[in-house]
């Protein structure tokens, strides 16, 4: 018993010592994070006002210290940061020159010069300066190199949009070698509480709880995220001609979540890929007219596959019609019995 108590005291002393040591360090991190966010707010304001010089100072520094900033909770690879740099480049040629030079330093002269972090940085900068074709060229070479399979998987988030915008939906199949498994994984994450549980755990970690309203809002957002994710997977299967697998994928998607918004999201991606078929009309049966995104799909289906209608014989006009009418009239008079005969 005495030994057990001693162990408890020792553990308590160790934990307390760690807290005393970590306290100042944590306070320093929080101070740096707060300072960074203040500078970020100023840069965003300058960006909104078109002041590329003031905004450029922040984003250049942010790029140089991108991995330090990531530890502080701000990631240069996030969609919003990438868009902010794109907006900055659109204001003046100088920021574009800076980011292009940073990109070129990463690339060097090798066909595969990248470690994972450098590869992601390089692709981000290609998007920032508007030269995504460089990333796509890397992709075309990498998918033929089995040693690059892990790096290809790493680039999905950064190249998926580029491939779709280039109309290369079928090439996205390299990111989904097990499409049915990917759909099930999406369902586990977005519909079966996987991500929702992480939200709740995060709230508890910070001393709070999820209210019923928060839970409902997050659940709706996750349902929409599921729609977007599986819509891409299904469209890739259709665009790449994997008909049998696409049928299985549709059934699996609907098994996990069959709602009008899901059907519209999935067929919306198919429409963007240019792969709509006449059979898709049946998939929209029962979808309410007011469902967002429905009308463009229906219009495109009607344009591609118009309803066949039987055309009536044209009515004769002019002299031919008059002659026919006269002949019909004379035939009627000849066939009609006279008044005397009828008596």
Q: Does residue 188 form part of some domain?
A: yes
Question: Is 338 contained in some domain?
Answer: no
- What pLDDT, on a 0 to 100 scale, did the predictor assign at position 217? 87
pLDDT digits (tens, 9 = 90+) for 112-142: 556 788 898 999 999 999 999 999 999 999 9
Confidence grade of residue 205 (pLDDT, cut at 50, 70, 90) = low
Q: What is the mean pLDDT of the chain?
A: 83
**What's the rounded Cα separation, in Å, for the pair 123 and 125?**
5
Exposure on the CB side of residue 270, measured as CA atoms within 13 A: 28
Of 71-80, 136-145, 297-306, minimum mean pLDDT range: 71-80
Query: Of 91, 90, 84, 96, which Cα lies nearest the Cα of 51?
Result: 91
Any domain includes 125: no
- Tell me, what's the pLDDT at 8? 45
Domain range for residue 295?
A: 169-304
Q: Does the pLDDT value for residue 16 go beyond 50?
A: no
Whether 269 is covered by a domain: the verdict is yes
* Domain-embedded: residue 194: yes
- pLDDT of 312 higher than 50: no
Tell whether 182 is covered by a domain. yes
Q: How confident is the model at residue 193 (pLDDT cuts 50, 70, 90)?
A: confident
Give the span between the Cα atoms of 267 and 270, in whole angstroms.
5
The number of beta carbons lying within 10 Å of the beta carbon of residue 196 is: 18
Q: Which two tokens stand for residue 305?
A: 């596959």
Residue at 53 is within a domain: no
The predicted model scores a pTM of 0.74
Q: Residue 343 pLDDT more than 50? A: no
Which tokens hold the place of 247? 């049928």
Question: Could you give the number of structural domains in the chain?
Answer: 1
pLDDT range class, residue 15, cuts 50, 70, 90 = very low
Cα gap 192→120, rounded to integer Å: 31
* In a domain? residue 76: no
N- to C-terminal Cα separation, the chain: 134
- Cα-based distances in Å from 267 to 91, 177, 237: 37, 21, 12
The angle formed by the CA atoms of residues 102, 103 and 106, to the nearest 5 degrees, is 90
Spatial separation of the C-alpha atoms in residues 3 and 29, rounded to whole Å: 39
């Amino acid at each position: 018993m005495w030994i057990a108590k001693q162990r408890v005291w020792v553990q308590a002393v160790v934990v307390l010592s760690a807290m005393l040591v970590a306290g100042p360090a944590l306070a320093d991190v929080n101070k740096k994070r707060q300072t960074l966010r203040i500078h970020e707010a100023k840069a965003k304001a300058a960006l909104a006002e078109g002041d590329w010089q003031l905004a450029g100072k922040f984003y250049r520094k942010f790029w140089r210290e991108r991995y330090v900033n990531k530890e502080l909770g701000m990631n240069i690879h996030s969609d919003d940061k990438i868009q902010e740099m794109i907006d900055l480049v659109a204001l003046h040629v100088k920021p574009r020159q800076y980011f292009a030079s940073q990109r070129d330093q990463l690339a060097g002269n090798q066909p595969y010069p990248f470690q994972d972090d450098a590869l992601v940085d390089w692709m981000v900068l290609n998007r920032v300066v508007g030269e995504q074709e460089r990333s796509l060229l890397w992709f075309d070479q990498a998918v033929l190199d089995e040693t690059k399979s892990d790096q290809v998987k790493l680039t999905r988030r950064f190249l998926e949009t580029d491939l779709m915008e280039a109309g290369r939906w079928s090439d996205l199949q390299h990111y989904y070698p097990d499409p049915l498994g990917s759909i099930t994984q999406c369902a586990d994450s977005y519909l079966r509480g996987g991500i929702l549980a992480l939200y709740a755990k995060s709230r508890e970690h910070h001393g709070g709880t999820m209210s019923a309203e928060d839970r409902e809002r997050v659940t709706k957002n996750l349902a929409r995220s599921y729609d977007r994710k599986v819509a891409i997977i299904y469209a890739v299967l259709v665009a790449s001609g994997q008909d049998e697998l696409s049928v299985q994928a549709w059934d699996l998607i609907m098994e996990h979540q069959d709602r009008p918004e899901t059907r519209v999201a999935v067929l919306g991606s198919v429409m963007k890929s240019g792969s709509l078929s006449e059979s898709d009309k049946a998939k929209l049966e029962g979808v309410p007219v007011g469902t967002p995104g429905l009308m463009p799909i229906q219009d495109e289906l009607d344009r591609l596959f118009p309803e066949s209608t039987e055309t009536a014989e044209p009515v004769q006009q002019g002299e031919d019609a008059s002659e026919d009418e006269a002949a019909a009239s004379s035939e009627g008079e000849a066939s009609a019995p006279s008044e005397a005969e009828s008596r």
